[in-house]
Chains A and B, each alone.
Chain A
């Protein structure tokens, strides 16, 4: 196995275009290392590298099923596990995007509240708190 191919496959774990990112997210969510992931898919470590370099299956049906089946058939891996892995990863991506949106919205609200508090006039006749 080429060192360059191996290194690139690892690099693509964070590239959403490639299946590497979906398998990486799935494995992380299942607390699997690469060996466990390969075992779940019924493939060798070399075949796992090949999977990493495939395009991530398109999310919409029927393209999703076609892509999963094509990859599973080509590399003789478990189609059900592959489908589950990609669906889980897609859900995780959607969840992260929702969480980012909520965090950004909350952050905006909190900042506004602090501003209003800062703007309120300071009454010097009020008794000081101990």
Chain B
């Protein structure tokens, strides 16, 4: 079988040579990027959440409970919050001063020990911050764990 005209063959060869080079370059880039991704592998929880970003919920819960169970004048803070909220809803009197003062004292002392926290009382289902005792300038209560006291959510977030 004689190929009398090689021009079409030459054309195809050039096309495929270029294609081969492109394929090899892409393969090389693929292996390089996989190698880089492999070296920066982190354990993840799915949906883009990295496991290492999650703070300790157990510790935060204990800190929040410590604040709410602290007795002031013979009553736990969570009882005082309940009473203050009831007074506010029934009689329209907003008085959280005792609670704020005590929580601020706890948080300020904790900050001296290197524990920076922010506390907030947020009405359930409404959003926004109702009362905040903040030992830092910035606040991010929305994602904090909470304990429900009547229709309020007591939230604490720490660094």
To the question of whether A and B form a pair in one complex, the answer is no
Q: Which residues of A contact B (CB under 8 A)?
A: none
Chain B interface (Cβ < 8 Å from any Cβ of A): none
